Chains A and B, each alone.
Chain A
């Protein structure tokens, strides 16, 4: 095998991996998932007067974040791809830990921090949309 053949084989292997590995979704699902992720983060940092309402908002935020993940994951599963491995799995774990940290920090958010969470929500929505459209590539 010469270096050109090796290069071609490497390229083919990279392309095959890039088709099956990422959590990519069509535009409709990407928009819905990104909005859910952004809203989830923003709601997680909301600071209503009542503790009961806060609890409800945290639960809704957790549900929205789960929806944000499950929508593209279900789409991927319908395409015949199940589960993740390698770098993408590690990235998903990091993402989950970050979201948990954001939710837990949001439990003690006051009015000022609540505004920061709104901005963070917008940033998360934009970044997640870019990720689902394949504009942000994870290392693999």
Chain B
């Protein structure tokens, strides 16, 4: 075990969570634009993150439109922090190379 979180080993899911770690909430469109993903691809990744309890998805009324807002949960924040620490350890050669 080297502390890596399975869900976050996928680079795109790591980028989504890292992006969300900078703000309280982000619009679906902002994440999609940054990660350069199609709507369906981002939705799939968010479904995985949401099922694991790392990201919360909610709909908000913005004028005439309904927007999808994304938020990194407390569990997501902890998982990201642990994953980054494990990556740091691996990068410094202080941890094993086994995948969890």
A, B in one complex: yes
Q: A3-B93, A86-B21 are in contact. Are A79 and B30 (CB under 8 A)?
A: yes
Q: From DSSP, what is the main secondary structure of chain B's interface residues?
A: helix
Per-residue contact bits, chain B 2-31, to A (CB 8 Å; 1 contact, 0 not): 101000010100111111111111110111
CB contact between A82 and one of B4, B19, B25, B90 (< 8 Å): that residue: B25
Instruction: Say whether B87 contacts A12, CB under 8 Å.
Output: no
Instruction: Say whether B30 contacts A81, CB under 8 Å.
Output: yes
B91 close to A (CB within 8 Å) = yes
A14 close to B (CB within 8 Å) = yes
Chain A residues with a Cβ closer than 8 Å to the other chain, count: 28
Chain B residues with a Cβ closer than 8 Å to the other chain, count: 36
CB contact between B15 and one of A6, A16, A81, A84 (< 8 Å): that residue: A16
Instruction: Say whether B24 contacts A20, CB under 8 Å.
Output: no
A93 close to B (CB within 8 Å) = no
- Closest approach, in angstroms, between the C-beta of A86 and any C-beta of chain B? 7
Per-residue contact bits, chain A 89-122, to B (CB 8 Å; 1 contact, 0 not): 0000000000000000000000000000000000
Instruction: Say whether A80 contacts B29, CB under 8 Å.
Output: yes
